[in-house]
Structure 1
Amino acid sequence: MAITTNTHLNFRGDARAALEFYQSVFGGHLTVVAYRDFGMPEDLPDAGNVVFGQVTADNGFTILAYDIPGHAVATAPLTPTTRENGLTLTGERFFVAVGGDTADEVGALWDKLAAGAEIVEKFGPSPFSPGFGMLTDRFGVTWILQVNTTPAA
């Protein structure tokens, strides 16, 4: 079982620019998926924002990022983790992202980490991973657990 831990940065509309900058610094492959790619109507303000972004370099560098959903987020104070209109909002600038090889392996970690946690997104299949979930543990740390996938070349 291989487990990786990566920083997951949260932006308010500039995740794409940040990821492009990190790729220019560290090299590697850039993956950017917009909310519209997952079915958000094109006319909504966040449709072009990043729902999943990642830079992965051959030297081992990996960073993940997304844009916090909700066009009013930049001016609205946020609680540590809240749900609004089905979207995850957070005032945190980062999450801890843990990836593993299989849903069974990651699910076992999820079950342990979820003890006493606030579940933000229940662990299960997602459009971009065979297993994905988000929780805030009993110490206030927000975690993403997911099955690793290989970015398209």
Structure 2
Amino acid sequence: MQVQAYLFYNGNCEEALAFYQKAIGAEVGFLMRYGEAPPEAQCGGTESAAAWKDKIMHCNFTVGETQLMASDGMPDSPPTAMSGCALSIAVDGVEKGRQLFDALADGGSVQMPYQPTFWAKGFGMLTDRFGIGWMINCEQ
């Protein structure tokens, strides 16, 4: 059994994927757009289906050895903020951690700057520009 995070981007999944490719070396695997689904599987009304045809219905991408899944969400569904969880990246080196932290923080908000702590050589918490929480940790 494997548990994977599934991230919803409220209509800007493609922008998020491009950001993660540049910021943290993410690699996109499978990607399907709403317009590629058969008509009987389309979500929302006709107007929504037309507006969302180029939006991402489902994709997977990898960061390091971890696969994540993502989508633009559902047409006609109100956006919801991610809360109660964060994605955590364990790094081997302090400088690598700082590099990833700074890249993810671009356009986002920092809750705890990347710095040494009593448990780690480097640790920081942020919310990226897409509302996804991240923690970067370089253990002692």
TM-score grouping bracket, smaller chain normalisation: 0.3 to 0.5
Q: Give the structure with the higher percent strand.
A: 1
Q: Give the structure with the higher percent helix.
A: 2
TM-score normalized by the length of structure 1: 0.40
TM-score normalized by the length of structure 2: 0.43
